[in-house]
Each structure stands twice: as structure tokens, then as C-alpha cells.
Structure 1
Amino acid sequence: MDVEVERSPSEDTRRLIDEGLDTYNAEKAGPDNAEDLWIIARDDDRNPCGGLKGRTFYSWMFIDWLWVSPSVRGGGIGERLLVKAERVAQERGCIGAYVDTFSFQAPDFYRQSGYEEFGRIDGLPPGHACIWLKKTFAVAQKS
């Protein structure tokens, strides 16, 4: 058996590994119900000025990234993107959200939005930290 580094594995190889892991996970944890999530902010001319890309699976939303154009930062667009994504995640049955961000990016933004730090790697990248934050959504009481 050989174990090799492959810079560009074939599509068949990628699919085999992806499907193998998906099958294993489903056997152990049930279906993940994975679904991508894109929230886009547009200016008055309909040009994109911000966006959030995430994914919902296993009852949680992972935020891949959230970006707001420097020309409109500080105007509440990031908060609007996050609130809308959280609402969609809850509609999809999610109980919470999590994200990783660098210390020079937006950890305070997420903290102000109710996220709590649950992990970090200092020195990633050098001189900074990679920080993981999560938020558990409030569950509405049924009457």
C-alpha cells in the first residue's frame, strides 16, 4: 500500500472519499441534512456590498465567512447579515451557530451578538489567534 501526497486528486477519488465519510457519519449520527446558506447585502444600485456564507448541518449553522465592504462598514450591515442567517438557521431547525475568526477580524462583533468563545489557537497566524465562538439559540416556549 502506498500513501502519497496528491495535489489534485481525480474527481472520482474525491467523490469516493467524500461519500465514504458521509456514509460513515450517517451510520453513526444520522443524516446531516446539510444545506448551504448565502446571505447577500446589496447597495441601492444592486451591487454586492457584503455577504455571509454558511452551512447548516446536524442542527447547527457554521459560518464560513462574513464580509462587509470597507465603504459601508460600521453601518450595521454585518449585524443584519448575521441576524438573517440566524433566522434562516432556526427555520431549518438549528439550535445554534458557530464560527472561527482571527483576532484581527471580528471576535468582538460576534461577542456583541451573543457568541461565546469556546476555543483558540494562539499564534495562528503568527502574532494573532484563531478564535472559535458559538451561540445557542433561545428556544421558543410552546403554549
Structure 2
Amino acid sequence: MSYLAISVTETPAAEDLALISGQLTAFNEADVGPADRRPLAVVVRDDAGSIVAGISGYTAWGWLYVQWLWVAEDQRGAGLAGRMLAAAEADAKARGCHSAYIDTFSPVALKTYQRAGYVPFGALEDFPPGRTRTFLQKRL
């Protein structure tokens, strides 16, 4: 057996990350088929053109993953998050997605997602400390 050097870094080289990503993608595609991973974003701008809310995520293997959802403080409480989720879900359905998932450690966001029809399926206690990270899903 040859010697293997294991290193840990917080500044990985872009080409190293690209190689790892490419190799895992190739393995997964050989195992379960192509992911058809495509970015998806919802952007909300005010009259001045400034972004006041948005969603960033992607679709893959028939699922929408909402990675980030943000609403400016002065826009909160008016249902904008629900409207953005509905827009993202409509686009995901047009792409052939059957379900969506999202996670949060914000109690306020948790209620928002549940109002939008998302159902918890898992949780991590103390992630971050003092909070619970909840994972939710929704059938589209």
C-alpha cells in the first residue's frame, strides 16, 4: 500500500474543489442517473431597482432545493416569502419537479414555511447552539 497524505484546509484550491465535485457528480450519475441540476433564483426589486428579497437554490433529480431565502427587514410580514416560494415552486414544476425541500433554524421562518405547506421531516438540535435546524419538504 502506498503512502497517502491527508490534509485539512480552510482555503482549498478551486481546482481541487472542481475535481472533487466532478468526480462525485460522475459517480452519482453512474449510480442513479443524471441529476439535471439547474440553478433557480427568485429576485424581488423595489421601484429603485434595489433587491429587497430573493431565493437562491436549484433543481435536481425532480426536487427543488431552496438554499437561501431572504427578505429585507422592512418588507417582512407582508407575505413576500410565501409569494417567492410559490414562484420558485411553479418554475420547479415546469421543470418536472415533484417536490421541494428547505431548512431553517429561524422559528419565524419555520412558521412561514409551514404556512406555505412545508412539513418537517427532520431536525438537528443545537445547530446553531440554542436553536434547532429543521428540515422541511413539500409535495408539488
TM-score (norm 2): 0.93
User: 1:117 and 1:53, CA in 2 relative to 1: closer, same or farther beyond 3 A?
Assistant: same
Question: Once structures 1 and 2 are overlaid, which stretch shifts more, 6-15 or 123-132?
Answer: 6-15
TM-score (norm 1): 0.91
How far does residue 105 in structure 1 lie from its aligned partner after superposition?
4.4
Asked if 1:65 corresponds to 2:68, the answer is yes
SS of the residue 1:27 aligns to: helix
Tell me the number of residue pairs that the alignment of Structure 1 and Structure 2 aligns. Answer: 137
Q: Which residue of 1 aligns with 2:97?
A: 94
Q: Which residue of 2 aligns with 1:9?
A: 12
Question: Once structures 1 and 2 are overlaid, which stretch shifts more, 86-95 or 37-46?
Answer: 37-46
Whether the 8 Å CA contact 2:117–2:138 is kept in 1: the answer is: yes
Identity of aligned residues (%): 35
Whether the 8 Å CA contact 2:82–2:113 is kept in 1: the answer is: no
Root-mean-square deviation (Å) = 1.1
Q: Deviations over 1:106-129 (max 9, x none)?
A: 111011111000000111111110
How far does residue 69 in structure 1 lie from its aligned partner after superposition?
0.6
Gaps of 5+ in 1: 138-143
Letter in 2 for 1:126: P
Gaps of 5+ in 2: none
User: 1:76 and 1:105, CA in 2 relative to 1: closer, same or farther beyond 3 A?
Assistant: closer
